[in-house]
């Protein structure tokens, strides 16, 4: 089980690296910023021209991905962001002010199961 968690973390890091590489190669402007603290992750996403009710924000059940959509008139936004660490979706919050959606969540504690070793 521990091997699978390590593999998943490695694959997540590869996915984030590929996403950054594609943004660099295509010149795509990154319209969000990830601020990672010791116990918390904050993401600021530029989504001008919307109202809070226009935004649909979903965190995956396992707390590894954020999906945000928004639409008003000709303004349409869709973004999937892989989080740099697993978060607790139940303890997440979001606010929208001056065209910027701010998502904040506590990092989830790493869970481990102690396995007795027999001799």
Tokens 């979706």 belong to 89
Residues 105 and 92: their CA atoms lie apart, in Å, by 4
Q: Does the pLDDT at position 96 exceed 70?
A: yes
Percent of the chain with pLDDT strictly greater than 70: 88
Q: Does the pLDDT at position 111 exceed 80?
A: no
The predicted model gives 19-43 an average pLDDT of 80
Q: What is the CATH number of domain 31-106?
A: 2.60.40.790
SS3 state at 113: coil
pLDDT at residue 60, rounded to an integer: 92
pLDDT at residue 7, rounded to an integer: 80
The predicted model gives 71-89 an average pLDDT of 91
Eight-class DSSP state of 4: H
Domains of the chain, by residue range, sit at: 1-29, 31-106
Q: Does the pLDDT at position 85 exceed 70?
A: yes
The predicted model gives 48-64 an average pLDDT of 93
Q: Does the pLDDT at position 110 exceed 80?
A: no
pLDDT at residue 13, rounded to an integer: 74
């Amino acid at each position: 089980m521990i091997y699978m968690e390590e593999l998943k973390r490695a694959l997540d890091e590869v996915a984030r690296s590929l996403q950054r590489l594609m943004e660099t190669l295509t010149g795509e402007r990154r319209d969000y910023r990830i601020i990672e603290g010791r116990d918390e992750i904050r993401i600021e996403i530029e989504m001008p021209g919307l109202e809070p009710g226009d935004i649909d924000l979903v965190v995956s059940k396992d707390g590894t991905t954020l999906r945000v959509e928004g639409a008003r008139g000709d303004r349409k936004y869709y973004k999937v962001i892989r989080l740099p660490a697993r978060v607790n979706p139940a303890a997440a919050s979001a606010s929208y002010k001056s065209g910027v959606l701010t998502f904040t969540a506590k990092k989830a504690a790493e869970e481990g199961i102690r396995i007795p070793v027999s001799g």
